[in-house]
Structure 1
Protein backbone atom coordinates (compact mmCIF):
# COMPACT_ATOMS: atom_id res chain seq x y z
CA UNK A 1 0.00 0.00 0.00
CA UNK A 2 1.41 3.39 -0.98
CA UNK A 3 0.57 6.66 0.67
CA UNK A 4 -0.95 9.30 -1.61
CA UNK A 5 1.15 12.44 -1.73
CA UNK A 6 -0.04 15.94 -2.50
CA UNK A 7 1.58 15.64 -5.92
CA UNK A 8 -0.34 12.43 -6.67
CA UNK A 9 -3.60 14.08 -5.58
CA UNK A 10 -2.95 17.12 -7.76
CA UNK A 11 -2.03 14.92 -10.74
CA UNK A 12 -5.21 12.90 -10.28
CA UNK A 13 -7.28 16.08 -10.10
CA UNK A 14 -5.69 17.41 -13.29
CA UNK A 15 -6.10 14.04 -15.02
CA UNK A 16 -9.78 13.91 -14.02
CA UNK A 17 -10.38 17.50 -15.13
CA UNK A 18 -8.75 16.87 -18.50
CA UNK A 19 -10.79 13.70 -18.97
CA UNK A 20 -14.11 15.31 -18.06
CA UNK A 21 -13.41 18.37 -20.22
CA UNK A 22 -12.38 16.10 -23.08
CA UNK A 23 -15.48 13.93 -22.85
CA UNK A 24 -17.77 16.97 -22.65
CA UNK A 25 -16.08 18.64 -25.65
CA UNK A 26 -16.30 15.39 -27.62
CA UNK A 27 -20.02 14.97 -26.82
CA UNK A 28 -20.88 18.58 -27.68
CA UNK A 29 -18.82 18.38 -30.88
CA UNK A 30 -20.64 15.23 -31.99
CA UNK A 31 -24.01 16.83 -31.14
CA UNK A 32 -23.10 19.93 -33.18
CA UNK A 33 -22.29 17.78 -36.21
CA UNK A 34 -25.05 15.17 -35.88
CA UNK A 35 -27.93 17.45 -34.81
CA UNK A 36 -26.75 20.96 -35.76
CA UNK A 37 -30.15 22.66 -35.64
CA UNK A 38 -31.31 21.02 -32.40
CA UNK A 39 -27.95 21.75 -30.74
CA UNK A 40 -28.15 25.37 -31.89
CA UNK A 41 -31.62 25.60 -30.33
CA UNK A 42 -30.23 24.24 -27.04
CA UNK A 43 -27.41 26.83 -27.17
CA UNK A 44 -30.01 29.52 -27.87
CA UNK A 45 -32.02 28.33 -24.85
CA UNK A 46 -28.90 28.50 -22.68
CA UNK A 47 -28.28 32.06 -23.87
CA UNK A 48 -31.93 32.92 -23.10
CA UNK A 49 -31.60 31.47 -19.58
CA UNK A 50 -28.42 33.52 -19.13
CA UNK A 51 -30.21 36.67 -20.29
CA UNK A 52 -33.03 36.15 -17.81
CA UNK A 53 -30.63 35.35 -14.95
CA UNK A 54 -28.45 38.38 -15.77
CA UNK A 55 -31.58 40.51 -15.95
CA UNK A 56 -32.65 39.40 -12.50
CA UNK A 57 -29.17 40.17 -11.14
CA UNK A 58 -29.10 43.65 -12.73
CA UNK A 59 -32.61 44.43 -11.51
CA UNK A 60 -31.68 43.16 -8.05
CA UNK A 61 -28.60 45.40 -8.02
CA UNK A 62 -30.74 48.38 -8.91
CA UNK A 63 -33.37 47.63 -6.30
CA UNK A 64 -31.47 46.22 -3.33
CA UNK A 65 -27.89 47.54 -3.34
CA UNK A 66 -27.47 50.54 -1.09
CA UNK A 67 -25.14 53.41 -1.81
CA UNK A 68 -25.94 53.71 -5.50
CA UNK A 69 -27.16 56.97 -6.94
CA UNK A 70 -30.61 57.34 -8.49
CA UNK A 71 -29.45 57.08 -12.11
CA UNK A 72 -27.30 54.05 -11.35
CA UNK A 73 -30.28 52.33 -9.73
CA UNK A 74 -32.58 53.19 -12.64
CA UNK A 75 -29.93 52.10 -15.14
CA UNK A 76 -29.48 48.73 -13.48
CA UNK A 77 -33.24 48.14 -13.27
CA UNK A 78 -33.77 49.15 -16.92
CA UNK A 79 -30.86 46.96 -18.03
CA UNK A 80 -32.33 44.09 -16.01
CA UNK A 81 -35.72 44.53 -17.65
CA UNK A 82 -34.11 44.60 -21.12
CA UNK A 83 -32.23 41.36 -20.41
CA UNK A 84 -35.35 39.66 -19.02
CA UNK A 85 -37.51 40.75 -21.97
CA UNK A 86 -34.83 39.55 -24.42
CA UNK A 87 -34.68 36.17 -22.67
CA UNK A 88 -38.46 35.78 -22.66
CA UNK A 89 -38.69 36.76 -26.35
CA UNK A 90 -35.94 34.26 -27.16
CA UNK A 91 -37.87 31.51 -25.35
CA UNK A 92 -41.10 32.40 -27.15
CA UNK A 93 -39.62 31.12 -30.43
CA UNK A 94 -36.27 29.41 -30.00
CA UNK A 95 -36.03 28.35 -33.64
CA UNK A 96 -36.46 31.88 -34.97
CA UNK A 97 -34.09 33.27 -32.31
CA UNK A 98 -31.52 30.62 -33.32
CA UNK A 99 -31.71 31.84 -36.93
CA UNK A 100 -31.37 35.47 -35.83
CA UNK A 101 -28.35 34.63 -33.66
CA UNK A 102 -26.74 32.77 -36.59
CA UNK A 103 -27.28 35.80 -38.83
CA UNK A 104 -25.90 38.14 -36.17
CA UNK A 105 -22.88 35.89 -35.61
CA UNK A 106 -22.17 35.68 -39.35
CA UNK A 107 -22.31 39.45 -39.75
CA UNK A 108 -20.29 40.14 -36.58
CA UNK A 109 -17.51 37.70 -37.49
CA UNK A 110 -17.46 39.02 -41.07
CA UNK A 111 -16.99 42.58 -39.84
CA UNK A 112 -14.33 41.49 -37.35
CA UNK A 113 -12.35 39.66 -40.03
CA UNK A 114 -12.45 42.64 -42.42
CA UNK A 115 -11.34 44.99 -39.64
CA UNK A 116 -8.64 42.53 -38.53
CA UNK A 117 -7.28 42.41 -42.08
CA UNK A 118 -7.25 46.21 -42.33
CA UNK A 119 -5.48 46.47 -38.96
CA UNK A 120 -2.89 43.93 -40.14
CA UNK A 121 -2.23 46.08 -43.20
CA UNK A 122 -2.00 49.23 -41.11
CA UNK A 123 0.75 47.70 -38.93
CA UNK A 124 2.96 46.58 -41.82
CA UNK A 125 5.63 49.14 -41.02
CA UNK A 126 6.26 47.53 -37.62
CA UNK A 127 5.77 43.93 -38.73
CA UNK A 128 8.77 41.61 -38.63
CA UNK A 129 7.24 39.44 -41.35
CA UNK A 130 5.63 41.69 -43.93
CA UNK A 131 4.77 38.93 -46.41
CA UNK A 132 2.93 36.87 -43.78
CA UNK A 133 1.13 39.98 -42.56
CA UNK A 134 -0.03 40.84 -46.09
CA UNK A 135 -1.06 37.22 -46.71
CA UNK A 136 -3.01 37.16 -43.43
CA UNK A 137 -4.65 40.51 -44.18
CA UNK A 138 -5.77 39.45 -47.66
CA UNK A 139 -7.19 36.14 -46.42
CA UNK A 140 -8.91 37.86 -43.49
CA UNK A 141 -10.49 40.57 -45.67
CA UNK A 142 -11.65 38.09 -48.33
CA UNK A 143 -13.08 35.72 -45.70
CA UNK A 144 -14.83 38.63 -43.99
CA UNK A 145 -16.37 39.88 -47.23
CA UNK A 146 -17.55 36.37 -48.15
CA UNK A 147 -19.09 36.01 -44.71
CA UNK A 148 -20.85 39.38 -45.06
CA UNK A 149 -22.23 38.37 -48.46
CA UNK A 150 -23.75 35.20 -47.02
CA UNK A 151 -23.81 35.43 -43.23
CA UNK A 152 -26.19 32.50 -42.63
CA UNK A 153 -24.14 30.15 -44.80
CA UNK A 154 -21.01 31.42 -43.09
CA UNK A 155 -22.54 30.81 -39.66
CA UNK A 156 -23.32 27.21 -40.71
CA UNK A 157 -19.68 26.70 -41.77
CA UNK A 158 -18.47 28.26 -38.49
CA UNK A 159 -20.85 25.92 -36.60
CA UNK A 160 -19.37 22.88 -38.41
CA UNK A 161 -15.85 24.10 -37.67
CA UNK A 162 -16.82 24.49 -34.01
CA UNK A 163 -18.15 20.92 -33.94
CA UNK A 164 -15.03 19.52 -35.62
CA UNK A 165 -12.76 21.55 -33.31
CA UNK A 166 -14.60 20.34 -30.21
CA UNK A 167 -14.26 16.71 -31.31
CA UNK A 168 -10.53 17.08 -32.03
CA UNK A 169 -9.85 19.00 -28.80
CA UNK A 170 -11.99 16.54 -26.82
CA UNK A 171 -10.01 13.57 -28.12
CA UNK A 172 -6.73 15.36 -27.40
CA UNK A 173 -7.82 16.13 -23.83
CA UNK A 174 -8.91 12.52 -23.27
CA UNK A 175 -5.50 11.31 -24.48
CA UNK A 176 -3.83 13.90 -22.26
CA UNK A 177 -5.89 12.68 -19.29
CA UNK A 178 -4.69 9.11 -19.76
CA UNK A 179 -1.07 10.12 -20.31
CA UNK A 180 -0.80 12.97 -17.77
CA UNK A 181 1.99 12.35 -15.29
CA UNK A 182 2.92 9.00 -16.82
CA UNK A 183 6.09 10.22 -18.51
CA UNK A 184 9.15 10.50 -16.35
CA UNK A 185 7.50 9.35 -13.13
CA UNK A 186 8.47 6.14 -11.39
CA UNK A 187 6.59 4.41 -8.70
CA UNK A 188 8.56 2.34 -6.24
Structure 2
Protein backbone atom coordinates (compact mmCIF):
# COMPACT_ATOMS: atom_id res chain seq x y z
CA UNK A 1 0.00 0.00 0.00
CA UNK A 2 1.15 3.49 -0.74
CA UNK A 3 2.10 5.91 2.00
CA UNK A 4 -0.49 8.39 0.74
CA UNK A 5 -3.25 5.81 1.17
CA UNK A 6 -2.13 4.99 4.71
CA UNK A 7 -2.09 8.69 5.62
CA UNK A 8 -5.67 9.02 4.34
CA UNK A 9 -6.76 5.93 6.30
CA UNK A 10 -5.09 7.27 9.44
CA UNK A 11 -6.83 10.64 9.05
CA UNK A 12 -10.19 8.95 8.48
CA UNK A 13 -9.73 6.87 11.63
CA UNK A 14 -8.83 9.98 13.63
CA UNK A 15 -11.76 11.98 12.26
CA UNK A 16 -14.16 9.09 12.89
CA UNK A 17 -12.85 8.73 16.44
CA UNK A 18 -13.25 12.43 17.15
CA UNK A 19 -16.81 12.52 15.77
CA UNK A 20 -17.71 9.36 17.74
CA UNK A 21 -16.43 10.92 20.97
CA UNK A 22 -18.35 14.16 20.37
CA UNK A 23 -21.63 12.42 19.51
CA UNK A 24 -21.21 9.84 22.29
CA UNK A 25 -20.55 12.55 24.89
CA UNK A 26 -23.51 14.56 23.59
CA UNK A 27 -25.82 11.53 23.92
CA UNK A 28 -24.42 10.50 27.31
CA UNK A 29 -24.33 13.89 29.02
CA UNK A 30 -27.33 15.53 27.29
CA UNK A 31 -29.71 12.66 26.48
CA UNK A 32 -32.81 14.87 26.18
CA UNK A 33 -31.19 17.39 23.87
CA UNK A 34 -29.56 14.71 21.75
CA UNK A 35 -32.91 12.94 21.34
CA UNK A 36 -34.46 16.27 20.29
CA UNK A 37 -31.69 16.76 17.73
CA UNK A 38 -32.33 13.29 16.30
CA UNK A 39 -36.07 13.98 16.25
CA UNK A 40 -35.39 17.27 14.46
CA UNK A 41 -33.25 15.48 11.88
CA UNK A 42 -36.04 12.96 11.35
CA UNK A 43 -38.51 15.82 10.98
CA UNK A 44 -36.36 17.55 8.38
CA UNK A 45 -35.97 14.26 6.51
CA UNK A 46 -39.74 13.67 6.53
CA UNK A 47 -40.47 17.17 5.24
CA UNK A 48 -37.80 16.87 2.53
CA UNK A 49 -39.14 13.46 1.45
CA UNK A 50 -42.67 14.87 1.38
CA UNK A 51 -41.59 17.82 -0.74
CA UNK A 52 -39.72 15.60 -3.21
CA UNK A 53 -42.73 13.31 -3.49
CA UNK A 54 -44.92 16.35 -4.02
CA UNK A 55 -42.63 17.58 -6.80
CA UNK A 56 -42.72 14.15 -8.46
CA UNK A 57 -46.45 14.61 -9.03
CA UNK A 58 -45.76 17.38 -11.53
CA UNK A 59 -43.33 15.39 -13.68
CA UNK A 60 -44.66 14.68 -17.12
CA UNK A 61 -43.61 11.03 -17.07
CA UNK A 62 -45.68 10.11 -13.98
CA UNK A 63 -47.62 6.91 -14.68
CA UNK A 64 -51.29 7.71 -14.09
CA UNK A 65 -53.77 9.50 -11.87
CA UNK A 66 -53.79 6.80 -9.18
CA UNK A 67 -50.01 7.00 -8.85
CA UNK A 68 -50.16 10.77 -8.64
CA UNK A 69 -52.87 10.58 -5.99
CA UNK A 70 -50.78 8.10 -4.00
CA UNK A 71 -47.77 10.41 -4.18
CA UNK A 72 -49.93 13.35 -3.12
CA UNK A 73 -51.34 11.53 -0.09
CA UNK A 74 -47.93 10.21 0.92
CA UNK A 75 -46.29 13.60 0.54
CA UNK A 76 -48.97 15.29 2.65
CA UNK A 77 -48.56 12.64 5.38
CA UNK A 78 -44.76 13.07 5.37
CA UNK A 79 -44.97 16.86 5.53
CA UNK A 80 -47.63 16.87 8.27
CA UNK A 81 -45.68 14.31 10.33
CA UNK A 82 -42.50 16.37 9.95
CA UNK A 83 -44.32 19.54 11.00
CA UNK A 84 -45.84 17.84 14.07
CA UNK A 85 -42.35 16.77 15.13
CA UNK A 86 -41.05 20.33 14.70
CA UNK A 87 -43.99 21.78 16.62
CA UNK A 88 -43.29 19.76 19.78
CA UNK A 89 -39.70 18.56 19.83
CA UNK A 90 -39.89 17.48 23.49
CA UNK A 91 -42.80 15.12 22.83
CA UNK A 92 -41.04 13.85 19.71
CA UNK A 93 -37.87 13.14 21.72
CA UNK A 94 -39.84 11.24 24.36
CA UNK A 95 -41.63 9.31 21.62
CA UNK A 96 -38.28 8.49 20.02
CA UNK A 97 -36.92 7.17 23.31
CA UNK A 98 -40.13 5.17 23.84
CA UNK A 99 -39.81 3.64 20.39
CA UNK A 100 -36.16 2.75 21.06
CA UNK A 101 -37.18 1.09 24.34
CA UNK A 102 -40.12 -0.81 22.86
CA UNK A 103 -38.29 -2.02 19.74
CA UNK A 104 -35.24 -3.09 21.73
CA UNK A 105 -37.49 -4.91 24.21
CA UNK A 106 -39.33 -6.69 21.41
CA UNK A 107 -36.05 -7.67 19.74
CA UNK A 108 -34.60 -9.07 22.97
CA UNK A 109 -37.81 -10.93 23.81
CA UNK A 110 -38.03 -12.51 20.36
CA UNK A 111 -34.32 -13.38 20.45
CA UNK A 112 -34.75 -15.12 23.82
CA UNK A 113 -37.79 -17.06 22.63
CA UNK A 114 -35.96 -18.17 19.49
CA UNK A 115 -32.99 -19.30 21.58
CA UNK A 116 -35.33 -21.34 23.77
CA UNK A 117 -37.04 -22.94 20.76
CA UNK A 118 -33.77 -24.08 19.19
CA UNK A 119 -32.40 -25.35 22.49
CA UNK A 120 -32.91 -28.98 21.46
CA UNK A 121 -30.59 -28.45 18.49
CA UNK A 122 -27.75 -27.20 20.70
CA UNK A 123 -24.89 -29.39 21.81
CA UNK A 124 -24.64 -31.16 25.13
CA UNK A 125 -23.80 -28.06 27.22
CA UNK A 126 -26.96 -25.96 27.10
CA UNK A 127 -26.34 -23.92 30.25
CA UNK A 128 -24.99 -20.85 28.45
CA UNK A 129 -27.77 -20.98 25.87
CA UNK A 130 -30.43 -21.19 28.59
CA UNK A 131 -28.78 -18.38 30.56
CA UNK A 132 -28.51 -16.17 27.46
CA UNK A 133 -32.14 -16.86 26.51
CA UNK A 134 -33.35 -16.12 30.05
CA UNK A 135 -31.43 -12.84 30.16
CA UNK A 136 -32.86 -11.85 26.76
CA UNK A 137 -36.43 -12.68 27.80
CA UNK A 138 -36.13 -10.91 31.16
CA UNK A 139 -34.44 -7.88 29.59
CA UNK A 140 -37.00 -7.73 26.80
CA UNK A 141 -39.93 -7.97 29.20
CA UNK A 142 -38.45 -5.31 31.48
CA UNK A 143 -38.06 -2.95 28.52
CA UNK A 144 -41.61 -3.62 27.37
CA UNK A 145 -43.03 -2.97 30.85
CA UNK A 146 -40.97 0.19 31.32
CA UNK A 147 -40.11 1.43 27.82
CA UNK A 148 -39.28 5.01 28.79
CA UNK A 149 -36.72 4.06 31.43
CA UNK A 150 -35.44 1.26 29.20
CA UNK A 151 -35.21 3.61 26.24
CA UNK A 152 -33.20 6.11 28.28
CA UNK A 153 -30.87 3.31 29.39
CA UNK A 154 -30.46 2.02 25.82
CA UNK A 155 -29.92 5.60 24.59
CA UNK A 156 -27.26 6.13 27.30
CA UNK A 157 -25.63 2.81 26.47
CA UNK A 158 -25.47 3.93 22.84
CA UNK A 159 -23.69 7.10 23.96
CA UNK A 160 -21.24 5.12 26.11
CA UNK A 161 -20.55 2.76 23.22
CA UNK A 162 -19.84 5.64 20.83
CA UNK A 163 -17.59 7.27 23.42
CA UNK A 164 -15.56 4.10 23.94
CA UNK A 165 -15.29 3.42 20.20
CA UNK A 166 -14.15 7.00 19.65
CA UNK A 167 -11.48 6.73 22.34
CA UNK A 168 -10.14 3.49 20.84
CA UNK A 169 -10.09 5.02 17.35
CA UNK A 170 -8.17 8.04 18.61
CA UNK A 171 -5.69 5.72 20.33
CA UNK A 172 -5.37 3.86 17.03
CA UNK A 173 -4.89 7.17 15.21
CA UNK A 174 -2.07 8.25 17.51
CA UNK A 175 -0.35 4.85 17.50
CA UNK A 176 -0.36 4.34 13.72
CA UNK A 177 2.84 5.24 11.98
CA UNK A 178 2.94 8.54 10.10
Whether these two folds match at TM > 0.5 is yes
Pairwise CA distance, 1:131? 3.0
Give 1:168's aligned residue.
Answer: 164
CA distance in 1, matches of 2:2, 2:56: 42
* TM-score, normalised via structure 1 length: 0.84
Q: Deviations over 1:66-95 (max 9, x none)?
A: 253443333233222211111110000101
Give 1:47's aligned residue.
Answer: 42
- What CA RMSD, in Å, does the superposition of the two structures yield over aligned residues? 2.1
**Distance 1:67-1:53 versus aligned 2 partners, 3 A rule:** closer
Paired residues, number: 177
- Within 5 Å, which residues of 2 pair with 1:73-152? 73-128=68-123, 130-152=126-148
**Distance 1:66-1:122 versus aligned 2 partners, 3 A rule:** farther
Q: Is residue 2:154 matched to residue 1:158?
A: yes
Asked if the contact 1:110–1:147 (Cα under 8 Å) also holds between the matched residues in 2, the reply is: yes
User: Which consecutive unaligned segments of at least 5 residues does structure 1 have?
Assistant: 1-5
Give 2:55's aligned residue.
Answer: 60
* TM-score, normalised via structure 2 length: 0.88
CA distance in 1, matches of 2:68, 2:130: 49
Pairwise CA distance, 1:60? 3.2
Asked if the contact 1:60–1:77 (Cα under 8 Å) also holds between the matched residues in 2, the reply is: no
Asked if the contact 1:117–1:138 (Cα under 8 Å) also holds between the matched residues in 2, the reply is: yes
Q: Which runs of 4+ in 1 moved over 4 A?
A: none
Q: Deviations over 1:90-141 (max 9, x none)?
A: 0001011111221222112111211111112222233356333222211111
- What SS does the aligned partner of 2:2 have? helix
